[in-house]
Chain A
Amino acid sequence: MIELQNVCRTFTVGDQQVAALRDIDLSFGAGEYISIMGPSGSGKSTMLNMLGLLDRPSSGTYLLDGGNVTDLNDEQLARVRREKIGFVFQSFHLVPRLTATQNVELPMILAGIPAGERKARVQVLMQSYGLADRVGHKPDQLSGGQRQRVAIARATVMNPAVLLADEPTGNLDQATGWEVLKLLEGLLEQGITLVLVTHDAEIGARARRRIHMLDGRILSDEQQAK
C-alpha cells in the first residue's frame, strides 16, 4: 500500500549538505502496525513527514495506494493528505480558539463537506471516543488525555488509510498514555495502517513490525511472529 523506493532526503544547512534519509526502501501493507524507533536525529521525523506528504524526497519514489505521489503539486498533495492520511502529534496541535467539535470538524471544513454531514460524523466519533460531554469545550478546558482523543478523532474523521502518530503519548502520564495507545490500536481493526514514531522502546515493542533507524538509514526491520 505504501512503498518507498530508494528515497533520499538531504537538507542544506549553511553550505553543507546533510542527509536525513539515505536510500530508504520500505513497504507497508494495509492494516499493518509499525513502530519507527531511533535516537534524535536518526531521521524518524523526516520519515514521518515524508510518509505524510508534508515533505518531498530529494530523490527516489513514493507510491501510495499504487499511485506515484512523488511529483504531485501542492493542491494534489493537499488532497491526498486530506483523504488518505491522518496525523497525531505529541503536542496535540489543537486550535485553541475552536471547540473540541470544531477542531474535529476542521479537515471536513477544509474538504468542503456540508455542515449537516459533519455534525453527524463528529457526533458518532465523539461518542465512541468518550468525549460526548466535551463537545463544546475549548482545548484548554480539557485534560491531556482528552485533548489527544480529540486530536485522534480529528485525524480519523476523514477515514484515512494511514494514521501517522508522532510520539502520541509523549506529553501524557503513563496511565493516560496507555489509554490513548489502546484507542489508536483499536483503529487497526478497522483496517487502518498505524505508523507510530517513538523513542520509547516499551511502546515501540507493542507494534508487530518494528523499524529501528540510525543516521538516516534503516538499522533493522523486524516482524514479530504472532
Chain B
Amino acid sequence: MYIRDLITITSSSFLTYRMRSFLTGLGIAIGIAAVILLTSIGEGLHQFVLGEFSQFGTNIISVQPGKTQTQGGNVGIFGSARPITLEDADALRRLPYVEYVIPGLMGNAEVRFEGKTRRTMVLGEGRDFGKAFTMKVQGGSFWTDADDEQARAQAVIGLKIRQELFGDTNPLGQYLRVGGQRYRVVGVMEAKGQMLGMDMDDAVFIPAARAMELLNRPGLMEINVSYRADVEADVLIRLIKNRLIEVHGREDFTIISQEQALEVLSSVLDILTFSVGALGAISLLVGAVGILTIMTMAVTERTAEIGLLRALGARAQQVLVLFLCEAMLLSALGGGLGLLLGIGIAQGLHLLVPALPVHTPWMFAALAELTAVTIGLAAGVIPAMRAAKLDPVEALHAE
C-alpha cells in the first residue's frame, strides 16, 4: 500500500465525520496549545532573566576578598582576610587569555557642580570598564591613563547626573566636585537604566585608586576579569586562583564566574519551563482519551467494512496500519492546530501585555507535534489491534 493511498483512505473518514473529527482533534489541539503557551511563557521568562543577568557580558570572572568557609578552632591571625589591591589587579593582568582587568569598588558621595549638590553612587573602576562590560559612553570617552594607581582626577558621569547637575551645559571638560575633590568630566554614559535595583544612570565613575582614597577603603571590593570567549571559565578560574595564592600566600578570596552562575540559574529556569510544560501535558492526556474513544467507535461502526477489506485481500497488518494511521493523522492535525493556537495566543498575550516576555523555540514546536503524533499512535494501538484481530466472516456480516 502506498503512503498516498493510505492518507487518501484514512482522511476520507475525517471528511465524512467532520464535526466529530474536529472535536476530537480539538482535544489534542487544546493540549498542545496549553503546552506551547506555558512553555513559551516559561522560556520567555528564562531568556528575560538571563538577559538581565548577562547584560554586562558573560565571560567575566569576579574576585572578591574574603573566603566563605567555616573553620574549626581559633581563627586567630588567619581570621582577617587581606584586602584585594590594585597590585593584585596588575598581577592578574599578566595572566594568559585575560582581556581586561577592572578593579572596582562602590560607595556613596556628594557631587557638586555650580551650586547644585546631589548624593549619588560613586563607582571606582579601571580604565577598561567600558570595554569589558557592554557599557558605552554617549559622549567623550573613558580616561586612558595606563597606570590605575596614578590615574588623574577624571570622571565619567551617568546620564541622570548630567541632566540633574549640568542641565543644558555641555559637561565635557567641566570640573565636578566629588566628595570635595575636583574631577574633570571626560565622558557621559549612555542610558543603562536599573540593574538589580541600582540606577546605573545615577552614578559617577572615577578611577579606582582615587575612589579608595575618597571612600577611605583599604582595598578593592572586587576585581572583574574579562577573558577571551573561546576559553573555558574553569581554566581562567584555576589560573586566577593560583596567581592570587602565590601573591597572598593563601586562599583568602572568593572567585565567582558569571558563566557558572548563569548556568545554575539557567538550569533552575529550565526546570520551571519543564514543570509548566508538564502541567499543560495533562490536558494532552485528556486529548488522547478522546482519540481512543473515537477510534474505538470507528472500529465498531466500520466492522463490516473491515470484513470487506479482508475479503478484498487486506492483510490483518494492513487493517492495523489503516486504523493507526487514522489515529495518528487525527492527532497530527489536532497538534498542528494546537501549535497555531498556542503560538497565536502567546503572541497575542505579548501584544496585550508587552511586559510579559514570550518565546517559542522551534525545538519545542517540533517536539510538541511529535508528541501529538506519538499520542495518536499510542491511543490508536488498542482499537487498531481490535480491528486487525476481527474474524473476517463475523466482521463481514456485522450490521
A, B assembled together: yes
Q: What residues of chain A have their CB less than 8 Å away from a CB belonging to chain B?
A: 49, 52, 54-55, 74-75, 78-79, 81-83, 87, 89, 93, 95-98, 102, 106-107, 109-112, 114-115, 154, 158
Q: Which of B29-37, B79-87, B307-315, B331-339 lies at the interface?
A: B307-315
Q: A54-B396, A97-B13 are in contact. Are A109 and B313 (CB under 8 A)?
A: no
For B8, list chain A residues within 8 Å (CB). Answer: 102
Query: A106 contacts B312, CB within 8 Å?
Result: yes
Whole-angstrom distance between the alpha carbons of A102 and B5 in the complex? Answer: 10
For B393, list chain A residues within 8 Å (CB). Answer: 49, 54-55
Q: Which of A79, A106, A110 has the most CB of B within 10 A?
A: A110
Query: B313 contacts A97, CB within 8 Å?
Result: no
In which size bucket is the chain B interface?
A: 20 to 34
Q: Does B229 contact A (CB under 8 A)?
A: no
Query: B1 contacts A110, CB within 8 Å?
Result: yes
Query: B315 contacts A74, CB within 8 Å?
Result: yes
Chain A nearest CB from B200 CB (Å) reads 68
For A89, list chain B residues within 8 Å (CB). Answer: 396
Q: Does B392 contact A (CB under 8 A)?
A: yes
Query: A81 contacts B311, CB within 8 Å?
Result: yes
The 7 closest A-B pairs by CB, nearest first: A82-B313, A97-B12, A78-B315, A54-B392, A81-B313, A109-B5, A107-B312
For B16, list chain A residues within 8 Å (CB). Answer: 96-97
For A49, list chain B residues within 8 Å (CB). Answer: 393
For B316, list chain A residues within 8 Å (CB). Answer: 74, 78
**Chain A interface mostly:** helix
Closest to A54 in B: B392
For A79, list chain B residues within 8 Å (CB). Answer: 313
Query: A52 contacts B311, CB within 8 Å?
Result: yes
Closest to B396 in A: A54
Question: Can you list 9 A-B contacts (CB < 8 A)?
Answer: A52-B311, A55-B392, A81-B313, A93-B305, A93-B311, A95-B305, A98-B12, A102-B9, A107-B313
Q: Does B381 contact A (CB under 8 A)?
A: no
Query: B12 contacts A110, CB within 8 Å?
Result: no
Query: A110 contacts B311, CB within 8 Å?
Result: no
Q: Which residues, 1 to 58 on B, are CB-close (under 8 Å) to A?
A: 1-2, 4-5, 8-9, 12-13, 15-16
Q: A54-B396, A112-B1 are in contact. Are A95 and B308 (CB under 8 A)?
A: yes
Chain B nearest CB from A177 CB (Å) reads 21
Chain A nearest CB from B9 CB (Å) reads 7
Query: B309 contacts A106, CB within 8 Å?
Result: yes
Whole-angstrom distance between the alpha carbons of A81 and B304 in the complex? Answer: 17
Q: Mark B135-147, 1 if CB is under 8 A from A, else 0.
A: 0000000000000
Tell me which of B2, B304, B308, B310 contacts A109 (CB under 8 A). B2
Q: Which residues, 189 to 214 on B, are CB-close (under 8 Å) to A?
A: none
For B311, list chain A residues within 8 Å (CB). Answer: 52, 54, 81, 87, 93
For A97, list chain B residues within 8 Å (CB). Answer: 12-13, 15-16
Query: A93 contacts B304, CB within 8 Å?
Result: yes
For B1, list chain A residues within 8 Å (CB). Answer: 109-110, 112
Query: B318 contacts A110, CB within 8 Å?
Result: yes
Whole-angstrom distance between the alpha carbons of A23 and B175 in the complex? Answer: 121
Q: Which residues, 79 to 107 on B, are CB-close (under 8 Å) to A?
A: none
Closest to A82 in B: B313
Whole-angstrom distance between the alpha carbons of A79 and B2 in the complex? Answer: 17
For B396, list chain A residues within 8 Å (CB). Answer: 54, 89, 93
